[in-house]
Structures are given as structure tokens and as C-alpha cells.
Amino acid sequence: MQRLTDRKILLGITGGIAAYKCAELARQLRGAGAEVRVVMTPAATEFITPLTLQALSGNPVHLHMLDAEAEAGMGHIELARWADLILVAPATADFMARLTAGQADDLLSTLCLASDAPVCLAPAMNQAMWRNAATQHNAEMLQQRNITLFGPGIGEQACGDIGPGRMLEPVEIAQLTAEQFGNAVLAGKTVFITAGPTREAIDPVRYISNHSSGKMGYALAQAAVEAGATVKLISGPVNLPAPAGLERVMVSSAEQMLVASLDGIERCDIFIASAAVADFRAADIAEHKMKKGKADEMVLRLVKNPDIVATVANHPQRPFTVGFAAETRDVVAYARDKLSRKRLDLIIANDVSRSDIGFNSDQNAVTVVSADAQQVLPETPKRQLGGQLIAMIAQQYHA
């Protein structure tokens, strides 16, 4: 269930007897690495206490729409935006009916309306209520709106009946929730990713570098973890926390990045070079801080850095190798030239002449170029683009 790592799950609990199982569900979700915030309807609090859910989720439980104190903390719109996924378990017949009608008469139904996140329901009710034409109609309407239903299961019910309407077990619900975050297309594979800028020292206090933020490489690394890969993220100096579930190796110069990239390369299946590596470094690094002196000019002699991605692509045990091409014009043509020159399998080209995407931005738009094809991925947040690119890389790798 690695795919739940760092996922923000809003767990909605409505008033059914199965609500008692949500304590275990909250524990399962958190155990799989998810961050959990719980919203309870008033009826749910009749079956299980908010205090139990607060202790198990590690966050205060949200109960009311018009609670000034709660709104001052994380307001309902903020909560709706926070969620990566809304999971309502148990979802009663009444809640399903209100959701179908688009009502917003309590906090949970309001959040479902106000959020862009996917919504999943684990229905739980008496078998006759589940079979009722009204509930069946609502279930169908909700699914048409891309709301996912987990179950219900068939079996013995709290009321003594036997039939459909049992809530699935917490472990099954947690598993189905994890599956909402894509398939484990890279399970068992090892992926190395370079990210961020390099710093080439001139003297003890100065260096040559560039504006790369590392956001694209970190998004790719996170997506590769979510796709089930074992990931080594080789990062230049950036201001980003290490995504959970991977090994991060911090480096500074291109030469250090090369050493870290080649370390264990024989077990690497896919190498993705997203780092903005400095092409040149100072021929000599001054031992002490360089002084201005009297001259109006100074000459810095530079020597070429090793090409990391080309070195990897030409290694005797070369992995499937993916590069990036940041260009300001003729983007695809230059990218294709780079693809063949460096012997890459794929190259991801982006136009860095635009200030709204690429370097330092949260958005990017790219063209994925192979020897015989190209595909445009339009402007998307880098986090989302990371997932799309990993899916495309995995597909090409397996092909």
C-alpha cells in the first residue's frame, strides 16, 4: 500500500453501526503512510466518539459546518482543497441520497460538493435498504458521476439479516483506497532520478549554478515511489523535503552527481536525468576567497563537466535512459538531436523561453520525444505531470 504514502485522505463517517470499524480503518490508512482527517456527521457520533477518531487519526475531528473555532483553524473550503481523496465509510442510504441530490446540509455533504478530489463510498446498510429501488437508483447516479463505490459486501448483518449491504472490512477498504492512486506499474523496478541544479565552486564562498528548483525531479521521484519502484533520488542543492519512501543522496557538483549516479547503476532499471547540470566548472578552485584586486576584468577558466546522462546511457549495463531538454526554440528538433547524440531512449522536452512554466514554476508543459514518435502533455501542475510522465516512461520501458 506504498501508494498511500503522504496521501491526504479525508475520512467521512456517517451514522451506521459499521462506524465502529472506522477506528481500525483510520489506523490502517495512517499505517500505510496516509495523512487522515476525519469528518463525522452528527449521527455518526452516536456510534463512535470523536475522541477515538481524533486519537487514531492524529488530527482534530471536524463535526460542524458553522463552528467558528474550527473554521478559524482549517475552514471547510480549505479542508475540501486539502483532500487528495474523500472516503466516506460507512456511507448510509441517507447519505447516498443526499449526495445524489447535491445537498449541502452538513459538513460532510458540503465537502463532497466543494472538493475536486475523487470521492469513494463504502456503503453500509440493511440488505432491504440496499436493494430498495431508490438506493439502487442513487448508487447508479453516483457512479455515473465518477463516484466510486467500494462494495457493499454480502453476509450476515448487525440486524441479523443476511444479504448485500455489509460494509467491506477496513483492510479491504484501505487496499481499494490505495488502488485509486494508480497501478503499481513499476513494482520491483529500481529507478534513479537526478534533480535540481549543480553547484560548481569557484572559491570557498562562490559558485556557478542555475535557477533549477528541483520540483520536476522531485515530482517524478514521488510518482515513481507511488508506482511501486525502489527510488534513488540524486539531488543537487534544493529547498525541498525528501519525499517519503525513497533514498535521497544530496550532492553539490556535477562530478559528485556522476559518482552517485554510477554507484549501483548495474541494478538500475530506469535512469531519469532531470537535473540541470552545469556544463562547465572552474578549472581550478581557489583555496582562499578570491580578491577583487585592482584590475577591471577577471578571467575565469572553465572546463567541461562530464555528461552524466550520456555516461549512463553508454554504460555496458545501461538502464532505460530518459533525459530532459530545456530549449528556447525548435524544441522538438533539438530534443530529437540530443536523443540520438546521447543515445537516450526517451527525452522530455520543454520550452524554457516561457516564464510561466518550467524553471522554478509549479507548472510545466512538455513534449515526450522518442526516436519515432512524440506526444505533447499540455500545461499541468508538476506534481500531476510527474505521475503522467512516470506512466508514459513505464509504458515505453515495458514495451
Binding residues for ligand C5P, rule: CB under 6 A, are 194, 254, 273, 275, 277, 305, 307-309, 323-325, 338
Secondary structure class of 80 (helix, strand, coil): helix
CB of 286 to ligand C5P, least distance (A): 23
Q: Closest CB to ligand C5P among 74 and 377?
A: 377
Burial 30-58, CB ≥16 within 10 A → b, else e: bebbbbbbbbbbebbbebbebeebeebbe
Q: Closest CB to ligand C5P among 17 and 193?
A: 193
Using CB atoms within 10 A of its CB, is residue 304 exposed (0-12), middle (13-18) or buried (19+)? exposed
Active site residue 159: yes
Q: Closest CB to ligand C5P among 53 and 273?
A: 273
CB of 284 to ligand C5P, least distance (A): 19
Marked catalytic residue, from 22, 112, 120, 159: 159
Asked if residue 189 lies in contact with residue 338, where contact means CB atoms within 8 angstroms, the answer is no
Beta bridge partners of 368: 348, 375
Beta bridge partners of 322: 272, 346
d(CA 196, CA 274): 7
CA atoms within 13 A on the CB side of 8: 10
Secondary structure class of 221 (helix, strand, coil): helix
Q: Closest CB to ligand C5P among 8 and 343?
A: 343
Asked if residue 50 lies in contact with residue 63, where contact means CB atoms within 8 angstroms, the answer is yes
Could you give the residue numbers annotated as active site? 159
